[in-house]
Amino acid sequence: MVTNPSDAEATERRKKLEKYFHPTPKESLRLTATALLAAGAAGLVLGLILLNGQQFWAVVCWAAGVYALVRGFQRKSRYDAAYKKAEPKPTGKEMDRILAEDLRQIEERAMQRLGITPDHLEVGTQVWDPVAALLAGGPVERGERRPLVLYGPKMSGFAIGDDDVWRFKEYEVMVICPTVHHLALYHCSLDFLTGGLSMEDTEEYQYNHVVAVSTRTTPVPEEISLERLNTRREEGEEQEVRFARVLRRRLEVSVSNGQSMGVTVGISDEKDSARAARLQSTGIDEVTGSIRRVLRDHSQPRA
């Protein structure tokens, strides 16, 4: 099942957010194009001046001027097209605000799909709130009773912002709803460019069937790689991220039949653990602790 916003909303959003992932062309490219145009114009003017008495050199100047103008217009056209794709970019804070709103809507949808209300939840009042954390730029606790939400990147197109945070075109989201009788899970893929949801799954497990809440670090499949990205930390310079081997850290909830559901919460280089993607705070430790507390509580026989 796929859930999408209206076509007009999705198109407008895509046009806006795609700019964040397109590299801004270097200013030197614009300056080179401008210099060629100026040189071409100068060649034509000089050709006119030399026309009387030095026709050979006039023709040479005209030919050089026309060549420079053509190359200058070509380069200026490519620069303008690339600049239009990349600018004006949304800020990192604006991207996080949009993601926070997506997570809020996914949380509501998950509870609808699972048939759960806040009164059914057994999570305590002080748990991780990824929506507030994105809006505030750091860890934030919340007071009302809501499900646990974790999100992480899918290994898709991405860019590094001027705040060093890696932001992706696609995310996976897991909503965890502990209730009195069972653990209900919702998982989906979020197309961040459009806000559309796909690959929606729901599962409900008896607590005695949940065998592990764990984090696993494994190499990603060979067909997944970190490709060229744009980072504005170096005055618009385009850079590449090259990891010897990409490791992906995932939080997973596993049950006795071998099934599991989880999200990616970390990306690093196998040969250099210091090289790691800086992701938005996911609250993995807080969420893991909350799930384990619930499981421990329900592992005890009730009076």
Closest listed residue to residue 88, CA positions, set 28, 20, 165? 20
Q: What is the pLDDT along the chain (303 residues), one digit of tens a residue?
A: 445 667 888 888 999 999 999 888 888 899 999 999 999 899 888 888 887 778 888 888 889 989 999 999 999 999 999 999 999 999 999 999 999 999 999 999 999 999 998 888 887 655 667 887 888 755 555 556 788 888 999 877 888 888 888 999 999 999 998 888 888 999 999 999 999 999 999 999 888 888 888 888 888 765 455 554 444 444 445 556 667 678 888 888 888 887 888 898 888 887 777 778 888 887 777 777 778 887 777 766 554
Task: Report the pLDDT value the prediction gives residue 236, as an integer from 0 to 100.
Answer: 46
User: pTM of the full predicted structure?
Assistant: 0.83
What 3-state class would DSSP assign to 218? strand
As a whole number of angstroms, the distance between CA 85 and CA 18 comes to 8
What pairs with residue 159 in β-bridges?
Answer: 167
As a whole number of angstroms, the distance between CA 32 and CA 49 comes to 26
Task: Report the pLDDT value the prediction gives residue 226, as an integer from 0 to 100.
Answer: 58
Task: Report the pLDDT value the prediction gives residue 141, as an integer from 0 to 100.
Answer: 54
Task: Report the pLDDT value the prediction gives residue 124, as an integer from 0 to 100.
Answer: 63
As a whole number of angstroms, the distance between CA 236 and CA 28 comes to 11
Task: Report the pLDDT value the prediction gives residue 233, as an integer from 0 to 100.
Answer: 45
Task: Report the pLDDT value the prediction gives residue 260, as an integer from 0 to 100.
Answer: 85
Task: Report the pLDDT value the prediction gives residue 301, as an integer from 0 to 100.
Answer: 56
Task: Report the pLDDT value the prediction gives residue 1, as an integer from 0 to 100.
Answer: 45
Task: Report the pLDDT value the prediction gives residue 173, as an integer from 0 to 100.
Answer: 94
